[in-house]
A and B are shown apart, each in its own frame.
Chain A
């Protein structure tokens, strides 16, 4: 199984700051066939279902603000949130869907400083 190591576990930020969340996979998530990385990022606010933010490592889902940026390839991936807003306070998860079983990172809790 592919292990997803997500860091940090939690992050305290002030509005307007930039934050980065990292995910490292135990195997490459890059498909040689289509050159896509099978890595997605989700946001989960308290009491809500997860919401897809980024897929194929860097493609923003429709309607997601452009302050959310996904980057990386192979085994190392980053979610960057520039100009953090109060509404961004949530848990964030990465997911690899390169091979079954799909595996999530442990999550990062973004809190207000």
Chain B
């Protein structure tokens, strides 16, 4: 069974940093590109970032470019999202999702940016 489990969320002050992780199981992680998508409370879905299977291709939404870094460790079956200079508008549930069509999603990690 394909599983994606996010962790690392929490309450953080504006301007601070946080690193999310997404551990994959049930499939060959190193064969798939991965995404981060977020959903602010009561709002719709917003794509955040993508990383290809071998990390050669990386793309970001303009709203996070320069502040967030997506990475992966295929040996650990883990996807990461390093978030810096956090703002209140980054408050959201952050999901990891598999491949371009996003055919598998985790349960989400909650990030709240507030003083």
Contact = CB atoms under 8 A, between A and B. Distances in A.
B47 interface: yes
A93 B44 contact: yes
B61 interface: yes
- Is chain A's interface secondary structure helix, strand, loop, or mixed overall? loop
Q: How large is the interface on B (under 10, 10 to 19, 20 to 34, 35 or more residues)?
A: 20 to 34
A28 interface: no
Given A102-B50, A107-B44, A51 B61 contact: no
B47 A101 contact: yes
Contacts of B45: 42, 44, 50, 93, 95, 104, 107
Given A102-B35, A104-B44, A104-B46, A52 B102 contact: yes
Nearest to A48: B107
B101 A101 contact: no
Contact of A40 (B61, B101, B104): B101
Nearest to B103: A52
Interface of A: 1, 38, 40, 42, 44, 49-52, 55-56, 61, 91, 93, 95, 97, 100-107
